[in-house]
Structure 1
Amino acid sequence: MKKILLIDDNEQDRMLYRRYLDRQAGPTRMTIYEASSGEEGVALFESHRPDCVLLDYNLLDTDGLEVLAQLRQRTPPNTLCVVMITGGGSEALAVRALSSGALDYLVKQQFDPELLYKTVIHAIEKNEWRQYEARYHGQLQAMNQDLRESLAELTATRQQVDDTNAQLLAANEEVRLRNQELAATNQQLARTNADLDNFVYAASHDLRQPVNNLRGLFEELRRAATFHDPEEGLLLRLIDESLQSLTSTITDLAAAVQVERLPGTQVQEQLDLASLTTDVLQALRPQLLTEQATVSTDFDALPSLQYVRSNLRTILLNLLANALKYRHPNRRPTIHLRTQLLHGVPVLEVQDNGLGIDLQRHGAELFQLFRRFHPHAGEGTGLGLFLVNRLVQSHGGHIEVESEVGEGTTFRIYLQGQQVG
């Protein structure tokens, strides 16, 4: 349904235009509104918003160009469809009408019904196409704007990616250089540790003979010499204790370094823990008798295991010797040995009721070289736990410690990587 507005002060001309349009419309239905003045035409335009306006130039109250200007003020740009009808056929007037916004013009008494109908339909189609183009171009501009914004975002993102890649490359290069530095440092530390071990091993080996000579000379002096002053006897005892301490230190140093010097193919064997413990207790028999210590064992969970015999013997010997050395002065030493499987890993546990260790204070230093936490409790070199830890780690295991000052200590040795017997 097309709506047509006729603005003409001549009633006969309006009737003629209506008849022409009705005759030519055919199946196309049209609703025609009529206005006899410019003022009435503007009012009908606002209320009905017609698809096309047939506007007479010569009106009683105004002229067509003025009405055209008012109509343009009431419509969005490029949406007004007006065909100007002139009476004089002036070409200059036609140009003015077209430049003012009219889509076409007709000259009175120079058109027939068909020309009028075709002109109106063409103007309507031209206006619709113009609006379609405007919408299309608006959408195209919006799309272009979106594309420009997307391109700007993509460019910014690409720049960020490039910056990030550059930072990552710089970071990777820095990591690579640090890794090289760490590798070089580790190599240097390994060489230094090897040199220190070799030095300690050589020194402990070379010192044994002079110490043995001192021991022989001291024994000969104590056997042959006669001392009448009691303080001289005390001096001899102090010298004897110093020689014993020096001998123990040299022996322990050699044993600690020997762990690192032994080849990685040490022979493991199936060890019966009860038999091995009996051997260790026999070696500690004098201390056990002196301290009246009680040692109990529970190897039911793991009676035997695959291990290097000398290493496990040293581990047991040092832990039991420490339990006796750092006994509590107000009670007899009680030591309990047992084995268990924790998450499939064989564990050897040594528990005592001795002095205990302040782990909060000394935990980080527990397995360091030459560290002693009860120097008043007895003689020692501070090498025992260091040696035990080295031996355990050489087999892929680790040690956990629980201790309470004044109550005792429990060592759990996780023998990882060992075959359970």
Structure 2
Amino acid sequence: MNEFFAKIVESDFMPHGHCYFWKTEIVAMNVGGDSLIMLAYYSIPFMLFYFAKKRQDLTHKYVFLLFGAFILACGTTHLIDMITVWVPIYRLGGLVKVLTAILSVGTAIVLWRSLPVLLSLPSHEQLAAANEQLQAEITERERAQEALRIANDELETRVQERTAQLLTANQQLEKEVAVRREAESALQQRNRELRRSNNDLDNFVYCASHDLKAPVLNIEGLLNVLKEEMPVPNENVNQLLQRLDKSVFQINRAVQDLTEVSGIQQDSNLFTIGEAELEQVLKEVELNIADTIQRNLATLETDFAAQPVLRINQKDLKSVLYNLLSNALKYKHPSRRPHIKISSGIEENFIFLSVADNGIGIDLRGNEEKLFKLFKRLHDHVEGSGVGLYIVKRIVDNYDGSIAVTSEVEQGTTFTMRFPRS
């Protein structure tokens, strides 16, 4: 194939004239006929191209162009036949015939496919009838436009009337807006006063809880001294002392809860995000409640599928774990040893932390919102202040997290918190 194209214009064959024995009349007839056919073939495509260019409304212009290319190729084959009479460039002639064959086959296929469409083109009579129908439609449309103009004039009149009504209503609305703005301004002022009152109340609670610590400690110390200085008390005195111990403990616990709640409320508007390692903070919490764990013969299980570093202050994470673990031990089931499972992992863009127990469980029907309210308790037979879960919820909210609870009575409770990874 490379040799074929390399010798595409070489004349290494016998000229076609030898087949005519170089007889003048035969050469003249063949060359003259090919010349006239070539000139005709070369002129027809230009007429087709010119016709297709001038008639911009042709829908199958490509058929004319394809016919022109086919006829031009046919004329070229006759030109090659004329040349090969003296110059035997048969390779080029064969190539031109192959290209002409491709164009002829393509033209036949396109024409065959386009024939139904070409036959469906309307005739002159059909076009004339369509033109008459179009003129009638134009006349009807002009009448419709006139009717539309009249309707439009009426509509403009109504719009003007409606605009005047809207202007009146708008003026009335502006007056109402002015009144509402005054009310909103008064409401904002009231909200500012309320926030200031709440801040003052928080500060008072914070200061009062701290100021009460010293008297409570003094009472506790004086009670211990009284026990040591008294002679051997009788049964009634022992009961009184026990009730005093319990009262002092409850007061001390209430002061601690108030201190922690006021601290959480003050820190909710201004706090810094730190990083806390879950395993390290959990060990510290276990040390703080080690006596309670040992006294209840409780077991702790950890399942850290991933040991993430939470974007939360260590103090806050410690408070969350302390309150949840303390509640799990406090609300233990009377017929089995407490078992607590702490799990963590990663879910999409969140880090989850869950604390599950096998305690007495919670009836969540109608109590889920009450569960995290301040000073709200669902089990009155167990001592508590109703502060722990409120603190946990406030801390989780401060870090744009969420907390969910699932529970089954007599089976246990699971608290699941989710914190953003970033």
Work out whether the TM-score is over 0.5.
yes
Cα distance in 1, alignment partners of residues 417 and 403 from structure 2: 5
Greater share of helix residues, 1 or 2?
A: 2
Deviation at 1:291, TM superposition (A): 1.5
* In 2: Cα distance, 1:173 partner to 1:311 partner: 46
**Which residue of 2 is the match for residue 122 of structure 1?**
none
For 1:279, the equivalent position in structure 2 comes to 284
Gaps of 5+ in 1: 1-137
Q: CA–CA distance in 2 between the matches of 1:404 and 1:263?
A: 32
Check whether the contact 2:344–2:353 (CA below 8 A) recurs between aligned residues: yes
CA deviation map 1:281-300 (0-9, x unaligned): 11111111121212111122
Q: Sort the Cα spacing of 1:208 and 1:140 in 2 relative to 1 into closer, same or farther, 3 A.
A: closer
Q: TM-score, normalised by structure 1?
A: 0.60
- Whether 1:398 and 2:399 are equivalent positions in the alignment is no
Task: State how many pairs are aligned.
Answer: 280
Quote the RMSD (CA, aligned, Å). Answer: 2.8
What do residues 133-159 of structure 1 show as CA deviations (whole Å, max 9, x unaligned)? Answer: xxxxx9999678535522333234424
Relative to the length of structure 2, the TM-score reads: 0.60
Output the CA distance in 1 between the equivalents of 2:352 and 2:179: 43
Measure how far apart 1:240 and its partner are: 0.5
Aligned with 1:373: secondary structure? Answer: coil
Deviation at 1:182, TM superposition (A): 3.8
Letter in 2 for 1:298: D
| Residue 225 to residue 407, structure 1, CA distance change in 2 (3 Å) | same
The answer for the alignment partner of 1:381 in structure 2 is 385
Q: Are the equivalent residues in 2 in contact too, given 1:227–1:233 (CA < 8 A)?
A: no
1:415 Cα deviation from its structure 2 partner: 2.3
Residue matched to 2:367: 362
Please give the secondary structure, in 2, of the residue aligned with 1:331. Answer: coil
Report matched runs for 1:324-363 at 5 Å: 324-363=329-368
Match of residue 419 from structure 2: 415
Per-residue CA deviation, residues 65-111 of structure 1 (Å, 9 max, x unaligned), is: xxxxxxxxxxxxxxxxxxxxxxxxxxxxxxxxxxxxxxxxxxxxxxx
1:316 maps to 321
Q: Which amino acid aligns with 2:280?
A: S
In structure 2, relative to structure 1, the CA distance for the partners of 1:310 and 1:158 (3 Å cut) is same
Cα deviation, residue 225, structure 1? 1.1
Query: C-alpha deviations, 1:332-383, integer Å up to 9, x for none?
Result: 2221111122330222111122222233332222222211111202x21221
SS of 1:406's equivalent in the other structure is coil
Describe the shift of the 1:191–1:359 C-alpha distance in structure 2 as closer, same or farther (beyond 3 A): farther
1:212 matched to 2:229: no
Shift of 1:233: 1.2
Q: What percent identity do the matched residue pairs reach?
A: 34
In 2, Cα distance between equivalents of 1:139 and 1:371: 76
- Partners of 2:308 and 2:345 within 8 A in 1: no
Residues 170 and 221 of structure 1: is their aligned pair in 2 closer, same or farther, counting only changes over 3 Å? same
Partner of 1:189: 194
User: Equivalents in 2 of 1:284, 1:140: separation in Å?
Assistant: 90
Higher strand share: 1
Q: Deviations over 1:212-237 (max 9, x none)?
A: 11001100111121344323212211
Q: 1:305 aligns with which of 304, 307, 310?
A: 310
